[in-house]
A and B are shown apart, each in its own frame.
Chain A
Amino acid sequence: MDFRPSRLAVVANCVEAFIREFFDQNPLSHLGIITIRNGIASRLTDLSGSPEAHIKVLRGNLECAGDASIQNALDLSRSFLCQVPTYGHREVMLIFSALGTCDPGDVLESVRNCKEENIRCSVVGVAAEIYICKLLCEKTGGIYSVAMNEAHLKELVLEHVAPPPALAEAAVASLVKMGFPQRGAEGTIALCACHREVKIGGGYTCPRCKARVCELPTECFICGLTLVSSPHLARSYHHLFPVPVFEEVPLDAKFSGIQELSKVCYGCQQLLPLAGSKVTGVRLVCPRCNKHFCFDCDVYIHESLHNCPGCESFCEPQT
């Protein structure tokens, strides 16, 4: 049992899917790629926020050779991550297929340094469980998992897309100045600051220095102001206000007096199981609004929609 057509191809596909999903869930974050080849760690891409740039470079650089060195990888990652401001969360994810590490010095010292700098290291193993990876993850607070097959590997890699819970002491709060540019009208002609070419139509104007940039989110190339649009911030709001977990309703439950059990799912109007009917399945209830949902709506609401239709369709009386 091994990964087909080759481990590298499978891992490359998983990394590409991870990059797309990561920027979809965390549009304000930055990501960089480091490769370990022949015991040397080298930077493939810098920390940046554009998924296409990363994927293009990744696809052009798929060769494997030699040993892996965890110490070199961790040291190089630390040198990049120390530039991240204090309010940012620093993480390293290592996709490791070797069965050991070949280091020039003491790898445990690198692990200690990572822990001191608050870098959370997680490892997704492709081959077998290795003690040093387990130790690294335990010391820095990351997650170590080993894949059993291709589908499991993808699942484990995509588990790291959602932001991990942060300790209040570790995450220092600060106010970050950001600009919200307006989109230019069709037909305006301007020199764009990112490609240094003349562009017609579209584009965004930095509110501080009036330079034109092509896409958001980015940092203004002239004055350094972080430019975002409000949907980018809104994409992360669902992590702050999650939908409560729905509870299962036993089929023989009866509401005394106030209401009968509804026949259809509140979200999709599909028939729900009822005592004595031919429909099979489970019936779930939202603890806040007491509306009933089917299993598929429950999965969709919690994984993709992040809104409970029942809670949103109910207006709280103004006090």
Chain B
Amino acid sequence: MDILNNIESSVGNKHLLLYIMWDLADDVSLVIVVVDVNPYFWVEKANASTGTSDIDFEQFLQHVLAFMNAILLLNHMNYLAVIATGSDSCSFLYESLAGESVSDGEGKPPSKRMNKHHTPSAKIVRGLKDFVSKELAFKTERKDNGKRYSLLSGSLSMALCYVQRILRQDPPHPHPRILCFQGSPDASQQYIAVMNAIFSAQRLMVPIDSCMVGSQHSAFLQQAAHITGGIYMKPPHPEGLFEYLMMVFATDLHSRRFLQLPRPTGVDFRASCFCHKKTIDTGFVCSVCLSIFCKHHKECSTCGASFSQNKSSFVTGQKRKLSTN
């Protein structure tokens, strides 16, 4: 720190100097791509497809692979990781970091790395095939054909653990962000877990961007984009997905200030009641567990607290008035 003090007097701005020393250039990013590969969603989408203005999974994958190669080309120090979100499990498909470090003494000679079987796209597709076959194994084990939601909270949690790992390494660090491709509808069972992940991303200052490939909007990802400062977009013409990705999501965080990005159209922050799951404007909140109800109940269904003996305190709070009892 003595060296810094000496230089500070000549540079005149300690913060600027620290920034230069400890951070990489502004445009180095760590992009974690979370891809929804829920087979229930993609099959339903293919069956309901309305002609050329929609894309199936194969075309979607081509757009996304080209985009991921573009990220790696934009800066030679960019890192990329890909996580697949299924309906029964989630897993990492690819990490660009892993190819650089020598693990278990398996360093490949340079000629092999140029081979087309070892490009990032090839590795991702191989990882995806393994992932899908494991998912099928889950289904045949359980013999269950019910409709399933995709496990977004699991993938977001794994992505954040990975970001933490990169930030724990020696400085300088890349600037992390998460990009979600989501098509399946929101699952209300995952609300708490997704919100926990969003708050943790907010504290780490990791923006969560979303690109919706399904037909409906996702309230969870809209809130994620609003709270973490990310971008939420639903492309009106999905057949041109690659263009949207390159124009909106490819730039690093520092350069986003200079671009005209899609404006948030309005985030629905209203809560949904625990009893009927409909969105409400005003509701009653249990003071013990904070569950929300649309009308007055005798007992809280989440925590079992009974309300009947205390009707007097269900008047709304009045500022600066002493209680009369």
Contacts and interface: CB of A to CB of B under 8 A. Distances in A.
Interface string A299-312: 01100111111101
Interface in B278-318: 280-290, 292-293, 296-297, 300, 303, 305-307, 309-310, 313-314, 316-318
Given A226-B316, A307-B153, A312-B157, A234 B191 contact: yes
B310 A230 contact: no
B271 A307 contact: no
Given A226-B317, A268-B162, A241 B192 contact: yes
A256 interface: no
Interface residues of B, number: 79
Contacts of A229: 269, 271
A208 B162 contact: no
Contacts of A83: 320-323
A207 interface: yes
A176 B287 CA distance: 7
A180 B283 contact: yes
A183 B266 CA distance: 7
Contact of A171 (B89, B165, B284, B288): B288
A226 B282 CA distance: 10
Interface stretch (B68-76, B142-150, B250-258): B142-150
Given A269-B95, A314-B89, A318-B144, A182 B268 contact: yes
- The A interface, classified by DSSP as helix, strand, loop or mixed, is loop
Nearest to B289: A240
A296 B268 CA distance: 35
Contacts of B197: 305, 307
Contacts of A86: 310, 313, 323
B290 A233 contact: yes
- The B interface, classified by DSSP as helix, strand, loop or mixed, is mixed
Nearest to B296: A175
Nearest to B281: A207
B222 to A, nearest CB: 11
B318 to A, nearest CB: 5
B323 A174 contact: no
Contacts of A24: 203
Contacts of A234: 191-192, 195-196, 199
A116 interface: no
13 contacts: A171-B288, A175-B307, A179-B281, A181-B269, A183-B266, A270-B165, A296-B164, A296-B165, A301-B157, A304-B204, A305-B157, A307-B153, A313-B91
Given A177-B285, A180-B280, 10 more contacts: A176-B284, A182-B281, A183-B269, A207-B281, A229-B271, A268-B164, A271-B103, A300-B160, A307-B196, A318-B144
